[in-house]
């Protein structure tokens, strides 16, 4: 996400490499480039000005460690100032409050309220809550049906009294229903509306008065331009907003709207939505966001994603296999599946530090198809072949290739990769010092896997 | 001075409406006795800020600024000069829509999620039917929950036929069915609503290419018009969207929706300037009649006028 801004800023930083000192001239040049990058990223002009002024002040004051090179100095200042813009606001939902907890979704038409409602409901259900969703959108054709379908996919209850076309009474009904059925969260979806539509804004206030929400989430399209603060500001003034959900951030938007809304309207970002799948919603973390923006990667999010899909017993048994050097093709397949469960490869790659610099990745993008092909090849093997790859002779290779719809070359390549991987793992296993007891134990060096224990 | 103070000060100015600020700039530049004097640095800077603040983008903004400053100041005023420059940008890109020799004419509607494609299809269908064209809607958004139901409501409102399939079925197959039906029923115009897709999703963009291929195979020369629906609130990302959709689906025109908000859709200027794509229609409300043909003069005038 936000690749364009991230790339622009990295170009700026790159151009500073090799400079010995930050002179006023280079500072001005860099500031000009940062300004253009931010404007092109749709950051509000006032924010751009204030930001650039702040960076200038600090750069000229040499308000950074002298041990840093000029590019590092600028990165540090930009990073600090970006973090300052976001403040110490925390993402996620408010804690505590009345039961059932009521969440009201607000926003312009097409910002993604209904989809976000579904994602949020799924997220809460996964956390052990019992959400009830209700649509009060009686205007857009089929909006209520859309929420019903989304809720069905998320596996949460939906409140839809047939024939009741009054938004306020639908919201009120949902609260009663939640109390009667023991649901602890009610998510109220509303019709998209323009912030200048007084009648509809009045309706929102009426819903709010009845539902008494603890969280008012304003769903904002990440691709919004300079108008972002005006609409968000009006919603905040007239109804009140406790958090922003930034939707569609996978649309390579430069995310300037995010910076503007947070800094000008003063409302923290609660969640970000990055995809059409129901699980594509994450709590917002300013520090990780800024790291990613500056191309520093986001290892914390990567670890969290991995933890979500790998349970600790699987990890332990894998480690055992590596130590005993019995890592089979079946295990290899399990690993592939785990990686794919973490989401599209491209998303994962972006979390890795330094990946941002590999702009020419385009031609050799991680290919999901390739992974599927490898899986198909392993699937076409017999259980025996998966455990003991050495039995796979020429005729077996032909059979496997036919069975998986690939060529013998593909099968050969996979076997070779597996072989190399096993050699590498053997070394890793030996490094832990316990894999091969008869091997000389001169150095008791800690291997990378010792951390996992 | 801390960041917050600066922002608070900035906020007061942001709250001022574009129109008000433009009036101020024009008032200063064209004050009695100065109408023929060259524009000063402050005016140019204020103008630049104003245009950027309306999402016009860096490229188009510098062209407009250059045009205005190079123009001889004959006393006709800055407002007229800028309006004319904006009109010039649009005047350069007036490729008329293709009219096939034999019907049906096929119009493909594309765009990212939530810009108002389905609503636009409903409004267009109504418009075409009122023009006396026999119109057929093809519901090829088989992805979004209840999208087909939403379109069904619009088809009923507009009084036109609709070809639909079940949610989750293959979009290209629905398009094929619709085109076959259109030929059999002697339809004049087929409107194809597609699922919203982010331009970064390679496989979804490939699906658009497939729809395009099927259309061309079934109706020679089709699609005759590919309309990209853009939300007026979109920022500079609108340019990227237009570029990507043009590459995958061969966009021939743009529909700018939600112009009834406070956003002025300055991205339209950027798209006309950077990509030479004409703007065909503008959406100005939720009613079925709230779709108007784009008028560059009116748009340029309205860009710096209050909307309410």
Q: How confident is the model over B115-167, as pLDDT tens digits? A: 999 999 999 999 999 999 999 999 998 888 888 889 999 999 999 999 998 77
By the 8 A CB rule, do A400 and A378 touch?
no
Residue A175 and residue A265 in one domain: yes
**Which run of H or E residues covers position B105?**
strand B105-110
Q: Show residues of chain B in contact with A146, CB under 8 Å.
A: 144-147, 150
What is the spatial distance between Cα A75 and Cα A12, in angstroms, rounded to a whole number? 10
Nearest-Cα distance to chain B for A442, in Å, is 52
In this structure, is residue A10 part of a structural domain? yes
For residue A68, the domain's CATH number is: 1.20.120.140
In this structure, is residue A91 part of a structural domain? no
**B3, B146, B234: residue with CB nearest A142:** B146
| Contacts across the A-B interface (CB distance below 8 Å) | 170
Residue A68 and residue A185 in one domain: no
Residue A134 and residue A14 in one domain: no
Predicted complex ipTM: 0.70
| pLDDT at residue B133, as a whole number | 94
> φ and ψ at A42, to 5 degrees?
70, 20
Residues B188-241 pLDDT 10s: 999 999 998 888 788 888 889 999 999 999 999 889 999 999 998 888 889 989
| pLDDT at residue B213, as a whole number | 93
Chain A interface mutation, best of B146, B150, B274, highest count of A Cβ atoms under 10 Å? B146
Q: Give the count of beta carbons closer than 10 Å to the beta carbon of residue B308.
A: 7
What is the spatial distance between Cα A122 and Cα A128, in angstroms, rounded to a whole number? 10
Chain B interface mutation, best of A142, A156, A230, highest count of B Cβ atoms under 10 Å? A142
Residue A350 and residue A432 in one domain: yes
pLDDT of residue B5 exceeding 60: no
Q: Show residues of chain A in contact with B238, CB under 8 Å.
A: 223, 225
With CB atoms and an 8 Å threshold, state whether B146 touches A85: no
In this structure, is residue A76 part of a structural domain? yes
Residue A247 and residue A203 in one domain: yes
Contacts of A199 (CB under 8 A, 6+ apart): none
| pLDDT at residue B135, as a whole number | 95
For residue A186, the domain's CATH number is: 3.40.50.300
For residue A19, give its domain range.
3-86
Q: Which of A251, A270, A296 is the last residue in one of the domains?
A: A296
Four-point Cα dihedral A335, A338, A342, A346, nearest 10: 40
| pLDDT at residue A29, as a whole number | 85
Q: Which of A280, A296, A312 is the last residue in one of the domains?
A: A296
In this structure, is residue A165 part of a structural domain? yes
**Which run of H or E residues covers position B256?**
strand B253-257
Percent of chain B scoring above 90 in pLDDT: 44
For residue A344, the domain's CATH number is: 1.10.260.30
B266-295 residues touching A, CB cutoff 8 A: 266-267, 286
Q: Architecture of B3-91 per CATH?
A: Up-down Bundle (1.20)
With CB atoms and an 8 Å threshold, state whether A45 touches B53: yes
| pLDDT at residue A10, as a whole number | 75
Residue A324 and residue A398 in one domain: yes
Q: How far is CA A249 from CA A93, A276, B5, in A?
A: 19, 11, 30
Q: Which residues of chain A have pLDDT under 50?
A: 1, 356-364, 433-453
In this structure, is residue A30 part of a structural domain? yes
With CB atoms and an 8 Å threshold, state whether A40 touches B58: yes
Q: Show residues of chain B in contact with A256, CB under 8 Å.
A: 235
Nearest-Cα distance to chain B for A354, in Å, is 21
Residue A148 and residue A222 in one domain: yes
**Burial (CB count within 10 angstroms: exposed 0-12, middle 13-18, buried 19+), residue A66:** exposed
A276-305 residues touching B, CB cutoff 8 A: 276
| pLDDT at residue A254, as a whole number | 60
| pLDDT at residue A437, as a whole number | 40
Please state the pTM of the whole predicted model: 0.71
B76 touches chain A (CB under 8 A): no
| pLDDT at residue A309, as a whole number | 63
Residues B61-92 pLDDT 10s: 999 999 998 888 887 888 888 989 999 999 88
Residue A283 and residue A183 in one domain: yes
Q: Where in chain B is the domain with CATH 1.20.120.140?
A: 3-91
By the 8 A CB rule, do B134 and B189 touch?
yes
Longest dimension (CA), chain A: 81
In this structure, is residue A93 part of a structural domain? no
| CATH 3.40.50.300 at B105-302, yes or no | yes
Residue A121 and residue A207 in one domain: yes
Residue A188 and residue A279 in one domain: yes
In this structure, is residue A96 part of a structural domain? no
In this structure, is residue A94 part of a structural domain? no
Nearest to B192 by CA among B278, B133, B117: B117
Residue A348 and residue A385 in one domain: yes
What is the spatial distance between Cα A24 and Cα B257, in angstroms, rounded to a whole number? 45
Task: Give chain A's domain count.
Answer: 3
Residue A260 and residue A335 in one domain: no
């Amino acid at each position: 996400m936000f690749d364009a801004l991230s790339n622009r800023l990295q170009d700026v930083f790159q151009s500073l490499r090799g400079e010995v000192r930050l002179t006023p001239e280079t500072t001005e040049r860099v500031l000009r480039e940062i300004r253009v990058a931010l404007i092109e990223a749709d950051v509000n002009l006032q924010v751009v000005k204030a930001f650039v002024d702040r960076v200038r002040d600090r750069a000229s004051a040499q308000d950074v460690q002298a041990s840093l090179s000029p590019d590092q100095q600028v990165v540090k200042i930009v990073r600090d100032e970006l973090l300052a813009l976001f403040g110490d606001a925390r993402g996620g939902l408010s804690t505590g409050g009345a039961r059932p907890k009521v969440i009201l979704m607000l926003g312009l038409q097409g910002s993604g309220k209904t989809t976000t409602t579904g994602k949020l409901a799924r997220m809460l259900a996964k956390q052990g809550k019992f959400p009830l969703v209700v649509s009060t959108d009686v205007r857009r054709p089929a909006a209520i049906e859309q929420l019903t379908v989304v809720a069905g996919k998320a596996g949460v209850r939906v409140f839809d009294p047939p024939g009741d076309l009054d938004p306020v009474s639908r919201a009120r009904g949902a609260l009663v229903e939640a109390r009667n059925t023991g649901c602890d969260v009610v998510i109220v979806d509303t019709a998209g509306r323009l912030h200048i539509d007084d009648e509809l804004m009045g309706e929102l206030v009426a819903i709010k008065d009845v539902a008494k929400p603890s969280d008012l989430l304003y769903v904002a399209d990440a691709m919004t331009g300079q108008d972002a603060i005006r609409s968000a500001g009006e919603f905040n003034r007239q109804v009140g907003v406790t958090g922003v959900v930034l939707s569609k951030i996978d649309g390579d938007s430069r995310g300037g709207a995010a910076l503007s809304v947070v800094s000008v309207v003063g409302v923290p970002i609660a969640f970000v939505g990055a995809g059409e799948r129901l699980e594509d919603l994450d709590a917002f973390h300013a520090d990780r966001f800024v790291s990613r923006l500056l191309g520093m990667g986001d290892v914390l999010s990567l670890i969290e994603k991995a933890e979500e899909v790998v349970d600790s017993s699987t990890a332990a048994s894998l480690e055992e296999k590596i130590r005993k050097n019995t890592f089979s093709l079946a295990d290899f397949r399990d690993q592939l599946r785990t990686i794919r469960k973490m989401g599209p490869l491209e998303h994962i790659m972006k979390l890795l530090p330094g990946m941002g610099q590999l702009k020419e990745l385009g031609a050799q993008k991680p290919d999901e198809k390739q992974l599927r092909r490898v899986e198909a090849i392993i699937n076409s093997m017999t259980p025996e072949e998966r455990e003991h790859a050495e039995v796979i002779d020429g005729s077996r290779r032909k059979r496997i290739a036919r069975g998986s719809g690939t060529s013998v070359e593909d099968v050969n390549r996979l076997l070779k990769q597996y072989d190399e991987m096993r050699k590498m793992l053997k070394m890793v296993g030996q490094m832990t010092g316990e894999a091969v007891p008869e091997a000389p134990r001169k150095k008791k060096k800690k291997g990378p896997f010792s951390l996992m224990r | 001075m801390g960041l917050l103070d600066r922002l608070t000060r900035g906020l007061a100015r942001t709250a001022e409406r574009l129109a008000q600020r433009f009036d101020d700039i024009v008032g200063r530049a064209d004050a009695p006795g100065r109408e023929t004097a060259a524009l000063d640095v402050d005016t140019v800077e204020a103008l630049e800020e104003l245009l950027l603040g309306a999402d016009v983008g860096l490229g188009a903004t510098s062209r407009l600024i250059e045009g205005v400053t190079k123009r001889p100041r004959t006393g006709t005023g800055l407002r007229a000069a800028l309006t004319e420059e904006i009109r010039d940008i649009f005047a350069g890109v007036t490729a008329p829509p293709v009219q096939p020799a034999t019907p049906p004419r096929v119009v493909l509607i594309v765009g990212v999620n939530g810009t108002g494609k389905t609503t636009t299809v409903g409004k267009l269908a109504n418009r075409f039917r009122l023009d006396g064209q026999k119109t057929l809607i093809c519901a090829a958004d088989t992805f979004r929950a209840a999208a087909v139901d939403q379109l069904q409501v619009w088809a009923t409102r507009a009084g036109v036929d609709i070809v639909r399939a079940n949610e989750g079925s293959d979009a290209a197959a629905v398009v094929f069915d619709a085109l076959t039906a259109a030929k059999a029923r002697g339809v004049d115009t087929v409107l194809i609503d597609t699922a919203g897709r982010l331009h970064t999703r390679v496989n979804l963009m490939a699906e658009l290419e497939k729809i395009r291929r099927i259309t061309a195979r079934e109706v020679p020369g089709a699609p005759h018009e590919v309309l990209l629906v853009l939300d007026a609130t979109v920022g500079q990302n609108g340019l990227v969207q237009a570029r990507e959709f043009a590459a995958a689906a061969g966009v021939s025109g743009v529909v700018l929706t939600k112009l009834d908000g406070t956003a002025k859709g300055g991205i339209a200027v950027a798209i006309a300037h950077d990509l030479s794509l004409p703007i065909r229609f503008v959406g100005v409300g939720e009613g079925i009649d709230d779709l108007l043909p784009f008028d560059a003069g009116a748009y340029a005038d309205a860009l710096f006028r209050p909307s309410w």
